[in-house]
């Protein structure tokens, strides 16, 4: 991951930044507020309408890049038809067609069972099993962070899976792809081909996509508080992000 430690952007992105752009969006913490558990997030009808309007305005050049399984996001956004890069870039879903960049690791089931012991030892810790990986959430038990960090490190050592840190979560997944790879792959195909990529995200998992967007002549927008990042611009919150997207859509 390449992050410029001197960069902590405070400048709000201009309204015309969507003009000629291909729009790439993180999900949790960017389009929806982070919830105590992944199942508790709320996708409003207003958000679905906004995504539909953005897709119409940009001629289909809207993609969601997320750590979630792409089918899960597709179910959450309902009838809105977007390109979805799931599992941090390990799969891409377009029009119901799924392209996978990895297979379910043989060691994953054993790893999941190993990590579930932390749920019993530390109430509030949550193990989220995914088709290609597993996430260990400690948002409900902040004092268990070090125990989770140690358990994930050991699980990665015995399984060969890659550790992906995030906000109050450690994730294990196969190596070989990240959100930056997903952005480059999607940006090289219609309808994104020839457009300038713009990526909005809030977490450390989004940094490779900020780097990729900038390398392709576009930009990244950090959502949330200032921090060292490869993003060029910043928006303060999910609510402000949705408002900016609606404003920028009119200028696209």
How many domains does the chain divide into?
A: 2
* 124 shares its domain with 78: no
Say which CATH number the domain at 226 has. Answer: 3.40.50.1000
205 shares a domain with 236: yes
- Going by C-alpha positions, the residue among 124, 235, 221 that lies closest to residue 169 is 124
| Whether residues 169 and 182 fall in one domain | no
Q: How far apart are CA 59 and CA 53, in angstroms?
A: 10
Residues spanned by the domain of 235: 15-101+177-251
Q: Are 105 and 196 in contact (CB under 8 A)?
A: no
- Of the residues 4, 16, 26, 59, only one is catalytic, namely 26
Residue stretches of the chain with pLDDT short of 70: 1-10, 96, 101-102
Q: Is the dihedral of CA 234, 184, 163, 129 positive or negative?
A: positive
Whether residue 8 lies inside any domain: the answer is no
How would DSSP label each residue in 96-165?
A: TEEEES----TTHHHHHHHHHHHHHHSBTBEEEE-SS-EEEE-TT-GGGHHHHHHHHHHHHHHH-PEEEE
Q: Residue 137: phi, psi to the nearest 5?
A: -95, 135
Question: In sequence order, what DSSP letters do the residues of 45-108 get, joined into one string?
Answer: HHHHHHHHHHHHHTTT-EEEE-SS-HHHHHHHHTT---EEEEGGGTEEEETTEEEES----TTH
| Cα separation, 37 vs 180, whole angstroms | 26
pLDDT at 175: 81
**One domain for residues 48 and 88:** yes
Distance from C-alpha of 163 to C-alpha of 149, rounded to nearest angstrom: 10
- 132 & 244 share domain: no
Q: What is the pLDDT of residue 23?
A: 98
- Residue at a domain's end among 141, 173, 205: 173
- 2, part of any domain: no
State yes or no: is 26 an active-site residue. Answer: yes
Q: Are residues 84 and 198 in the same domain?
A: yes
- The predicted pLDDT at position 5 comes to 47
* 96 and 120 inside one domain: no
Q: Are residues 119 and 182 in the same domain?
A: no
Of 89, 94, 138, the residue nearest 118 (C-alpha): 138
What sign for the dihedral angle of Cα 182, 63, 249, 22?
positive
- Judged by phi (left if over 0) then psi (alpha if -120 to 50, else beta), residue 87 lies in left
Tell me how far apart the alpha carbons of residues 195 and 188 are, in angstroms, rounded to a whole number. 9
Residue 27 domain-assigned (yes or no): yes
153 and 200 assigned to the same domain: no
- With tokens 């969601």, the residue in question is 64
pTM metric for this prediction: 0.89
- What is the token pair recorded at 251? 């200028």
Q: State which of 118, 143, 173 marks the end of a domain.
A: 173
User: Regarding beta strands 126-129 and 97-100, do their DSSP bridges make them parallel or antiparallel, or are they unpaired?
Assistant: unpaired
Residues 45 and 161 in one domain: no
Does 113 share its domain with 96?
no
Token duo for residue 64 = 């969601």
Please give the backbone phi and psi of residue 51, each rounded to the nearest 5 degrees, phi first. Answer: -65, -40
Give residue 101's pLDDT: 64
For residue 156, the domain's CATH number is: 3.30.70.1020
Do both 73 and 198 map to the same domain?
A: yes
């Amino acid at each position: 991951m390449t992050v410029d430690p001197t960069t902590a952007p405070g400048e709000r992105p201009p309204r015309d930044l969507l003009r000629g752009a291909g729009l790439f969006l993180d999900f949790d913490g960017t389009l929806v507020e982070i919830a105590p558990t992944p199942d508790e997030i709320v996708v409003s009808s207003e958000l679905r309408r906004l995504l539909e309007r953005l897709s119409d305005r940009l001629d289909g050049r809207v993609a969601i890049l997320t750590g979630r399984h792409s089918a899960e996001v597709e179910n959450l956004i309902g009838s809105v038809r977007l390109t979805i890069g799931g599992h941090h870039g390990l799969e891409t879903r377009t029009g119901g067609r799924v392209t996978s960049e990895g297979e379910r690791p043989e060691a994953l089931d054993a790893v999941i069972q190993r990590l579930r012991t932390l749920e019993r030892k530390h109430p509030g810790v949550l193990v989220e099993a995914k088709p290609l990986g597993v996430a260990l959430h400690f948002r409900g038990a902040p004092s268990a962070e070090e125990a989770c960090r140690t358990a994930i490190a050991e699980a990665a050592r015995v399984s060969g899976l890659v550790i992906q840190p995030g906000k109050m979560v450690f994730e294990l997944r196969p190596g070989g792809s990240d959100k930056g790879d997903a952005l480059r792959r999607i940006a090289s195909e219609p309808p994104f081909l020839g457009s300038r990529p713009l990526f909005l995200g809030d977490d450390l998992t989004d940094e490779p996509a900020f780097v990729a967007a900038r390398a392709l002549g576009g930009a990244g927008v950090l959502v949330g508080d200032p921090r060292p990042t490869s993003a060029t611009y910043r928006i303060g919150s999910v609510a402000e992000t949705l408002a900016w997207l609606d404003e920028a859509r009119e200028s696209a």
